[in-house]
Amino acid sequence: MKSILKNEPVDEMSIHIPSADVSHICRKWLDLPYASLSASQKLDIYLPAEGSGSFPVILYIHGGGFAIGDKRDIHVLAFLKGLERGYAVVSVNYRLSGEAIFPAGLKDIKSSIRWIRANSQKYQLDGTRIAACGGSSGGNYAAMVCLTANVTEFDDFTMGNPGVQCNVQAAVDWFGPTDFLKMDEQLAENGFGPSDHGEAESPESRYLGAKLSEVPLKVALANPMTYIHKHMPPILIQHGRLDTMVPVQQSIMFVEKLEKYVSHDRFEFDIIEGAGHGDPLFETDENMDRVFSFLDKHLK
């Protein structure tokens, strides 16, 4: 997401996200369909310039309030730095909330993971080493994918490859929302109000198909904290202290619950001081070194 720093209401749907220039990447396949239910179900594959693989996979899940965005948004460039470190990058599109509500997008992403595994040899990918990574709503998806491999309600085997697993080996969650119902209260607590996450036309309400207060069970089902378990893959969570769109408490709550239920080798947490939502501070060489160090630990 574009960086949002000011203490003022923001219409997330009005944010324009520039596209990434990927013309310099020699080995790539663009717009490959991983399912046939929707035209949205496509992915891009990028390989390092040299080597025959099999390459561990960074699965990049774009943000955009569950309603906008694309797999080739400019934010994919930060994770494409992984090509220089021996990673393949797969960037995935999924059905947005204007096309289909929760859990359609999550089902799509899980289907894309099955497709990656089923086609790993053809594209020089290592299907045994996959990390889900994303920011904002993409961070929520990365955490959900990390935690719900065995939640069959989020599977749609009619999309293909039903005998293939959809689990990942690690995840990176950048400033993803967790408990949608608490966001307005937390933003007000931080002095970043007024906000409208609880309104009927908010991105989160549109994602769930109804005003949040009317569907508390759906809010819980879309919350990665609901699925924490002791055998979960490791996750790196990072959040900006000055996030005026997704309050930092969303990740703090997540980590507090992780501390209660799983061992400390299952998660790492950084609060990035001075950073807003989608802040360039997440994409600096210094922070990407931190991210890749985490991925190296669990995928190499």
pLDDT above 60: residue 100: yes
121-160 pLDDT, tens per residue? 999 999 999 999 999 999 999 999 999 999 999 999 999 9
pTM of the model: 0.95
Residue 261: strand, helix, or coil: helix
pLDDT at 16: 81
70-90 pLDDT, tens per residue? 999 999 999 999 999 999 999
CA dihedral (219, 225, 231, 233) in degrees, to 10, reads 90
